[in-house]
Chain A
Amino acid sequence: MKVLVPVKRVVDYNVKVRVKSDGTGVDIANVKMSMNPFDEIAVEEAVRLKEKGLVTEVIAVSCGVTQCQETLRTAMAIGADRAILVETTEELQPLAVAKLLKALVEKEQPGLVILGKQAIDDDCNQTGQMLAALTDLPQATFASKVEIADGKAKVTREVDGGLETLSITLPAIVTTDLRLNEPRYVTLPNIMKAKKKQLDVLKPSDLGVDIKAHLKVLKVSEPPKRSAGIKVPDVATLVSKLKNDAKVI
């Protein structure tokens, strides 16, 4: 069984982004870019499934600019066998990405697609579910445990109030939550090995996919600032402030 792992190149999670003064977006020039952390968890999970002998090939996919090749090399350093970049400089929204991935699912026929539940840049939380709908495949989102057996995936999901377990028929789409695993550190020998692995580059038009935007960003602004209040010297003052000034207890 093949596993397809879509990965997104995003501003590194440690970077505090700045809104551009003209309000057209956030400034990502000269900012450190990394693989979306949830996607890194997805790559790790796919590689672990391969190491357990449940999967024969792990294919990493990214959609976006040329530099996404670096993200794909990272995925291959974690252990993905090969990679595909769908290259475009156009802005890609989740529906367009889901359509591109659908075309790749049809081409590669994976038994499982595993990807992050959300990208930490646009915080959309859409692509996995959209891909599941477009391919008519079952989905298990926000996974904290994945077990593969007998043509099915048993997936434990993080839901409001606790955990839920689903059994879905493969092929299926799984999106990862934070506690699914802890991705390994990539080692230098594996980074070197990843450089020699196969990386194919396609264009959206090669896949016959329309990537037009469905949403238009009119303006991006700074959120309202919350200013620091006061420091209180002791617990008694704190209680008095909460009771008498803030009136919240």
Chain B
Amino acid sequence: MAALVIAEHDHRSIKGATLNTVTAALKCDPQVHVLIAGANAADAAKAAAQIAGVAKVLHADGEQFAHGLAENVAAQVLAVAKDYSHILFPATAAGKNVAPRVAAKLDVGQVSDISKVDSPDTFERPIYAGNAIAIVQSLDAIKVITVRTTGFDPAAATGGSAAVETVTAVADSGKSAFVGSEIAKNDRPELTAAKIIVSGGRALGSSDKFNEVLTPLADKLGAALGASRAAVDAGYAPNDWQVGQTGKIVAPQLYIAAGISGAIQHLAGMKDSKVIVAINKDPEAPIFSVADYGLEADLFTAVPELVKALG
């Protein structure tokens, strides 16, 4: 038996979350295969074959995979599932969308969002917004898993030389169709992969201020921008910037929280960051209880000052 990783990709290249998932898979089984279900995705398959530790790449190609529709991707995973003891997805929007369909069809439970592999059938996962850690044993023959990428180091993207095997693509389900997407295009690093994140809270007061104050700092540091739920709910920042229990889980080298009080559900999304800086004028803000460096100051003066001090 072997472990199968369902790759996250853009048809041309492999997304970073795939690499962390490969690391988790190698802790479950030394033999790791990667499935690329994509449209004209030969380049992505080639890239997957180079990931260190990957023994084989399965490549299913067809227009029905162009937009990663859950019905089609799950059917493709099921078509090859019987050969595997573990099926792992990154716990991204795409992975979370598909994995439970696979588990249900196999009549197995799913272990969501694992942060550690204790043994091939026992995993650790955060529950209650990370306020508790559960050690969970899967009682099923096939383990369907989503992997919290911040819990595992990425596998090296090069150094491997796996064979790419073409597998027959399943037919389109016909029940679901892609209409369109609005994906923000910018030069910033992806939130979940960024080394530095500058994140803003409700204290920013408006969308204009959010951009005016935080963008120069993010530009200076080459950082991704994030936001608290309060800031997103208030419309100061786009939905997919939300860091927290139900948003993105991040663990950058440096997380700068400006005007974020530090609600439990926000802390759940960022408390594994290596270094946390909090800038807040409220000395009692809970964010200070997890910050390595707390600066009690008005962010509207402190952040521009910080930009200046960084030269």
Interface residues of A (CB under 8 A from B): 11, 13, 16-17, 19, 26, 38, 93-95, 98, 117-118, 120-134, 137-142, 144, 154, 157-169, 172, 177-179, 213-223, 226, 228-232, 234-236, 238-239, 241-242, 246, 248-249
Q: Is B79 located at the chain interface by the 8 A CB criterion?
A: no
Q: Is B122 located at the chain interface by the 8 A CB criterion?
A: yes
B246 engages A229 (CB within 8 Å): no
A178 engages B246 (CB within 8 Å): yes
> Which of chain B's residues has its CB closest to A140's CB?
B176
The contact of B112 among A123, A134, A138, by CB within 8 Å, is A123
Determine the main DSSP class of B at the interface with A. mixed
Q: How large is the interface on B (under 10, 10 to 19, 20 to 34, 35 or more residues)?
A: 35 or more
What is the CB-to-nearest-CB distance from B171 to chain A, in angstroms, rounded to a whole number? Answer: 14
The listed residue with most A CB atoms (<10 A of its CB), out of B98, B125, B190, B239, is: B239
A168 engages B176 (CB within 8 Å): yes
B137: A residues at CB distance < 8 A = 215-218
Expressed in whole angstroms, the Cα–Cα distance for A124 and B91 within the complex equals: 11
Determine the main DSSP class of A at the interface with B. mixed
Contacts A215-B111, A220-B132; A228 near B103 (Cβ below 8 A): no
B290 engages A98 (CB within 8 Å): no
What is the CB-to-nearest-CB distance from B273 to chain A, in angstroms, rounded to a whole number? Answer: 9
B173: A residues at CB distance < 8 A = 138
A13: B residues at CB distance < 8 A = 265
Q: Which of B31-39, B52-60, B302-310 lies at the interface?
A: B302-310
B240 engages A11 (CB within 8 Å): no
Contacts A98-B104, A123-B128, A133-B74; A162 near B291 (Cβ below 8 A): no
B306 engages A238 (CB within 8 Å): yes
B127: A residues at CB distance < 8 A = 26, 121-123, 220
Q: How many A-B residue pairs have CB under 8 A?
A: 262
What is the CB-to-nearest-CB distance from B32 to chain A, in angstroms, rounded to a whole number? Answer: 23
> Which of chain B's residues has its CB closest to A210's CB?
B107
Q: Is B288 located at the chain interface by the 8 A CB criterion?
A: yes
The listed residue with most A CB atoms (<10 A of its CB), out of B175, B221, B248, is: B175
A162 engages B109 (CB within 8 Å): no
> Which of chain A's residues has its CB closest to B107's CB?
A95
The contact of A238 among B110, B112, B239, B293, by CB within 8 Å, is B293
Interface residues of B (CB under 8 A from A): 67, 69-71, 74, 92-94, 96-105, 107-113, 122, 125-140, 173, 175-184, 190, 192, 196, 221, 229, 232-233, 238-240, 242, 245-246, 248, 253-254, 264-265, 271, 274-277, 288-297, 302, 305-306, 309-310
Expressed in whole angstroms, the Cα–Cα distance for A231 and B128 within the complex equals: 29
Expressed in whole angstroms, the Cα–Cα distance for A137 and B105 within the complex equals: 12
B176: A residues at CB distance < 8 A = 138-140, 166-169
A to B CB contacts below 8 Å, 9 in the list: A16-B264, A129-B101, A161-B184, A215-B136, A216-B139, A223-B130, A228-B291, A230-B293, A231-B295
Expressed in whole angstroms, the Cα–Cα distance for A242 and B139 within the complex equals: 46
Contacts A231-B288, A242-B293; A216 near B103 (Cβ below 8 A): no
Expressed in whole angstroms, the Cα–Cα distance for A200 and B134 within the complex equals: 34
Not counting A123-B128, A226-B290, a sample of 12 additional A-B residue pairs whose C-beta atoms are within 8 angstroms of each other reads A19-B132, A129-B96, A138-B173, A139-B71, A160-B248, A165-B178, A216-B136, A220-B135, A222-B132, A231-B288, A236-B309, A246-B275
The contact of A218 among B135, B271, B295, by CB within 8 Å, is B135
A38: B residues at CB distance < 8 A = 246
B101: A residues at CB distance < 8 A = 129-130, 132-133, 139
B184: A residues at CB distance < 8 A = 161-162
What is the CB-to-nearest-CB distance from A191 to chain B, in angstroms, rounded to a whole number? Answer: 26
